Every structure is written in C-alpha cells, then in structure tokens.
C-alpha cells in the first residue's frame, strides 16, 4: 500500500498538476476589478476578457463601455487599438461617446421629436435642437448590470439595462441585454436583445473609436477603408439626413474599393465640408437581416486588418472630426483631430421621421436583435 501511495504521489499528482496548469494557461479568463465610483457613489466595475491567442478587451459597467481592445500587428505584437480614458471621470465628462453603447436611438433625430401611432413624442435635445445618441443621459451614461459568462467561442460579458417608460422622452419600459464576446478568432462580437412593454423605437449601436497603429498620437488618415455600399444618405448643415438616398459613385464618399482615408477628405465637396470630414450613414448593400461583411480597414505600417460584420442596414463612418484634447485620454494622451475613426452599425439617422426607410419600431411581444462583429487580423 505504501508503495502505491508513493507512486501516486511521485508520478500521478505532478501529472495532474501539470495538466491543470496547462489547461489554466489555455483557458479564456475574465477578471473583475473596481474602475471607480460615480458621482452618486455607485461603484463601476471593469471586466477584463482574455482569449486563448492573448488578446484582451476591457469593459466597464458605466455605459457598457469598451475601454480597450488589444490586437496583434504583423509581427505578433499586441497593442491597444481603441481610444478611451484611464479613469471614470473621463467617461463621465467626455462628450465623444468613446467606446460606449449608445441609445435608445443611435445617431440623430431631427428636432428631438418623432410621431408614433399618431402621438408626437418630445425627446431631450443635446445637439442644438436635435437629439444625438439617445439624449442628455442616454444608455452611454447609465450603469449596467454585468454577468460574466463562459461561451464556447471565448470569454463573454452579459450586460443588462432597464430603461424606464419616458426615459429621455421615449415611450415604454425597454429592457436591453448586450453580450460582448472576445472570441478565440480575435473578434469582438456584440449581440443585442431588447424588449418593450409599449410600442416604441429602438436603435442602439456600439461607438468605439479605432486607431490601428496602436499609437494614439497618430492620425487615422493613412488607414485604408472599404465599405460595401453604393448609396449614402446626404445631410444638411445640422448633419440631419435630407431624406434623399444618393449614389457614392463619382464622389469622395465612394469606398467600394480600399481607399486611404486622407486621400480625399479635404476635397471641395459640399457634403464633406458640412460634416467637417467623413460622418455619413452608408446604405449597406445586400441588407436582408442577416450578418454579412460590410466594411474593411487596413493599416499598412502595422499590417492590422479590421473587418466589420453586421445584420444592420446602415453603417455610420466617422473620422473623429470633433475630437478635442479634453478630457485627456489613456496614458496622458490628448486625443486630437482625426486620431480615431468609428464604424457604427445601426439603422439610418432620423429614421423615425422617414417612414420609407427601414423601420425602427419595436412593439410588445417583439424582440429587437442585432449582431455586430469587429474581427482583427493581419495582412
């Protein structure tokens, strides 16, 4: 018996320990920490998702905000590729929606009002007379409830928010669930699920600013972009869609082939001047409610390559035209003009006031769903 115990101790236990350590090393991980306290004293938590290849995504419960995503360059070196802040104060005071989950309605609603079933709803205006990204205290300023989950594709975080009836002027109590998954294919996958107890409108999106150089003092003007869209929605001087849908062909807004952002951004094109750069909704091709690849971004100095997949009809391409140096960003970097770009998958801006455009109406008994994926690789 002593000999059996000796052999078990010498041979079996070290093997089990080694196997356990190996599995632990290869397993996805989720770590939780305190990120800060809101002005009302509520704690905000940060969850760090780590996948098998070594990528990380840091997400906080304030605004369901993605603080950072790391991605490898062509030499395998990982770097953070998303703009953000080192502390909660930056997110509370910032106006750029860096990394946030925005809603109830992403993008702009003209006059901060819309009519639904014969009733006009007045919303909180936060961009002149219009509403942008859900109003003065939209989803991006709310504290979400978080639950870490282990998915087959990689570590995931489920965040839930209950928006009460009348929130920012919107009808209905809306419950929105968002699951961020950092897959082992280096994708940040975002799955949305929403319900309401009254007929309402719902159109959330994710608002990370990317800079694939991994150096936030660099501009994004040398990034190359491709967007699968033959049409876009022109804007007026307040960046509200005119209601028309026009071709991108023969305009600086044509990104149907990989094109360097800075090559035409200063062209004497009226729409570019109105937006101070690129800030346009693209009418995506092949919209059928299913996930498909809609855009690509390539950064030639690092080889980082970003692909965007979504089931949405529109994609807002924004080149950081109004980034300001305050509040100061991560690692003391003051984000300057055009040092980040956003690719926001969503319905068209001002759709509630454009009945011919894809509907954003959500009724009791229905479920809002969206999937958007940001996939990182190299080439």
Which of 207, 299, 347, 354 does the annotation list as catalytic? 207
- State the fold for domain 30-378: Beta-galactosidase; Chain A, domain 5 (2.70.98)
Neighbours of 377 (CB within 10 A): 15
Residues in CB range of 305: below 8 A, 6 or more apart: 296, 297, 298, 299, 376, 377, 378, 379
pLDDT of residue 341: 98
The span from the CA of 246 to the CA of 26, in Å, is 50
Q: Please, which pLDDT band fits residue 4 given cuts at 50, 70 and 90?
A: very low
Question: Look-up: residue for tokens 């004293």?
Answer: 41
207 is a catalytic site residue: yes
Q: Please, which pLDDT band fits residue 28 given cuts at 50, 70 and 90?
A: low
Find out whether 346 and 106 touch, Cβ atoms under 8 Å.
yes
**What does the buried/exposed string (b/e) look like for 3-30 if buried means 16 or more CB atoms within 10 Å of the residue's CB?**
eeeeeeeeeeeeeeeeeeeeeeeeebeb
Residues in CB range of 220: below 8 A, 6 or more apart: 210, 211, 212, 213, 261, 319, 320, 338, 339, 340, 341
Four-point Cα dihedral 159, 162, 168, 170, nearest 10? 110
**239-297 confidence digits (pLDDT tens):** 999 999 999 999 999 999 999 999 999 999 999 999 999 999 999 999 999 999 999 99
pLDDT, greater one: 75 or 1: 75
The span from the CA of 62 to the CA of 56, in Å, is 19
Neighbours of 273 (CB within 10 A): 12
Which of 56, 187, 299, 344 does the annotation list as catalytic? 344
Examine the pLDDT at 15 and tell me if it is beyond 80.
no
Q: Structural domain boundaries of the chain?
A: 30-378
Q: What percent of the chain has pLDDT over 70?
A: 93
Average predicted confidence (pLDDT) for the chain: 93
**137-180 confidence digits (pLDDT tens):** 999 999 999 999 987 899 999 999 999 999 999 999 999 999 99
344 is a catalytic site residue: yes
Among 48, 53, 42, which residue's Cα sits nearest to residue 29? Answer: 48
Classify residue 316 as exposed, middle or buried by CB count within 10 Å of its CB (0-12, 13-18, 19+).
Answer: buried
């Amino acid at each position: 018996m002593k000999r059996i115990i000796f052999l078990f101790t010498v041979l079996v236990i070290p093997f089990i320990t080694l196997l356990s350590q190996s599995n632990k090393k290869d397993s996805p991980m989720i770590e939780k920490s305190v990120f800060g306290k809101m002005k009302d004293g509520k704690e905000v938590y940060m969850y760090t998702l780590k996948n098998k290849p070594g990528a990380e995504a840091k997400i906080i419960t304030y605004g369901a905000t993605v603080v950072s995503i790391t991605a490898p360059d062509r030499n395998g070196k990982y770097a953070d590729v998303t703009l953000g802040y080192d502390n909660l104060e930056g997110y509370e005071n910032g106006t750029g929606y860096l990394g946030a989950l925005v809603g109830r309605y992403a993008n702009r609603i003209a006059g901060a009002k819309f009519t639904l079933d014969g009733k006009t709803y007045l919303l909180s205006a936060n961009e002149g007379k219009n509403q942008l990204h859900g109003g003065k205290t939209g989803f991006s300023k709310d504290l979400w409830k978080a639950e870490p989950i282990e998915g087959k594709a990689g570590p995931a975080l489920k965040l839930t928010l209950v928006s009460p009836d009348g929130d920012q002027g919107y009808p209905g109590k809306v419950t929105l669930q968002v699951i961020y998954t950092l897959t082992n294919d280096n994708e940040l996958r975002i799955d949305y699920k929403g319900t309401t107890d009254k007929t309402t409108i719902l159109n959330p999106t994710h608002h990370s600013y990317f800079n694939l150089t991994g150096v936030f003092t660099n501009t994004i003007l040398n990034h190359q972009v491709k967007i699968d869209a033959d049409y876009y929605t022109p804007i007026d001087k307040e960046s509200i869609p005119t209601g028309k849908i026009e071709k991108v062909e023969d305009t600086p807004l044509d990104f149907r082939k990989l094109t360097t952002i800075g090559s035409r951004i200063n062209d004497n094109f009226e729409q570019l001047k109105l937006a101070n750069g690129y800030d346009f909704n693209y009418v995506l091709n092949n919209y059928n409610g299913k996930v498909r690849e809609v855009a690509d971004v390539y950064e030639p100095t690092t080889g980082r390559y970003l692909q965007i997949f979504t089931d949405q009809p529109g994609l807002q391409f924004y080149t950081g035209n109004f980034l300001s140096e305050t509040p100061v960003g991560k690692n003391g970097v003051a984000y300057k003009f055009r040092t980040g770009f956003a690719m926001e998958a969503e319905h068209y801006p001002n759709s509630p006031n454009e009945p011919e455009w894809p509907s954003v109406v959500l009724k009791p008994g229905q479920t809002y769903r969206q999937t958007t994926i940001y996939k990182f690789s190299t080439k």
